[in-house]
Amino acid sequence: MAKPNEVLSTEQPQPQPQRSTDLKLKFRDKVYTSRTLIIPESDRTLPVVKGCVEVSASDEQAVSYLKAHAEFEPQG
């Protein structure tokens, strides 16, 4: 039995929408199925696995690198 000043709730919490920082962009590698990309002017690497590479939508450096090269095409 609930205390008089407690309210019972049967509603389920709503899932939070994904933030843009959590969104992943996927690019298809048109040349290789497996390789390691090195982002210019940084020590970061991006793995290509099964012909695809995934990056965070908020990673502007990686996204611009992938969009600038004809070897990669965005996947919808």
- The predicted-structure confidence for 28-74, as pLDDT tens digits, reads as follows 999 999 999 999 988 899 999 999 999 999 999 999 999 999 999 99
Judge whether 7 lies within some domain.
Answer: no
Q: In the numeric block, which tokens belong to residue 54?
A: 């995934």
- Say if 45 falls within a structural domain: yes
**Tokens 């309210």 sit on residue:** 7
CB-based contact 17:6 (threshold 8 Å)? no
| Stated pTM of the model | 0.69
Which residues lie closer than 8 Å to 45 by C-beta, 6 or more apart? 36, 37, 38, 39
- Number of structural domains found in the chain: 1
More confident residue, 66 or 16: 66
Quick one: pLDDT at residue 41?
86
Other CB atoms within a 10 A radius of the CB of residue 54 amount to 14
Is 13 inside a domain boundary? no
Give the H or E element holding residue 67. Answer: helix 60-68
Range of the domain at 70: 24-75
Q: What is the pLDDT of residue 30?
A: 98
Residue 3 lies inside a defined structural domain of this protein: no
